Amino acid sequence: MILNRWKFKGWTLGIALISFAAGSFTSARLAHLSQVRADSNRVFELRIYHAVPGKLPALETRFRDTASKLLANHGLNAVGYWIPEDAPPWDNTFVYILAHPSREEAKKNWEAFGADPGFQEVLKSEQANKLVEKVDSTYMHPTDFSPMK
């Protein structure tokens, strides 16, 4: 009789553990799916600044001291800033990437950034001392196999 009771308890414990594991796995998968869906509108913006020859150090300084802080104040979240090493095709080039929750948020945040008095000062200084010849901007969405989403 005692032996049968242990077999029954062992069987019950095994079923309970399997059920718990299956429920945990299912919950984890569902939580992951909802997170992926919530981030599905996320986009990245690649911005390439073509500096006036010889003005790249001044452009770096502008981003380090002013522009990066203004961007962050308006929800324009920089992933990183780069200076390409391959010369001459990439001479005088400054590159950065922003992460946005969606294209709509990007548009809203850029509009607020453009209206910022601090940015208006940057524009005035740009007229007096031109640093940038051209800006290229491209929005990108991550692939399903991208490590960053």
pLDDT, mean of residues 18-33: 48
pLDDT of residue 39: 52
Please give the average per-residue pLDDT across 122-145, as a whole number. 94
- Report the pLDDT averaged over residues 4-28: 49
What does the angle CA 111 – CA 113 – CA 119 come to, to the nearest 5 degrees? 130
- The average confidence (pLDDT) of the chain is 83
Question: Is the model's pLDDT at 146 over the cut of 70?
Answer: yes
- Residue 130 DSSP code: -
Cβ proximity of 86 and 128 under 8 Å: no
What pLDDT is recorded for position 40? 78
| Torsion 91-93-94-95 (CA) sign | negative
Residue 62 makes CB contacts below 8 A (sequence gap 6+) with 122, 131
- % of the chain residues with pLDDT over 70: 74
For residue 136, which amino acid is it? D
Q: Which residues contact 67 (CB under 8 A, 6 or more apart)?
A: 122
Please state the rounded mean pLDDT for residues 77-91: 94
Other beta carbons less than 10 A from residue 111's beta carbon = 10
Whether the upstream peptide bond of residue 88 has omega within 30° of 0, thus cis, is yes
Average pLDDT (87-97) is: 94
Q: Which of 130, 45, 46, 133 is nearest to 91 (CA)?
A: 133
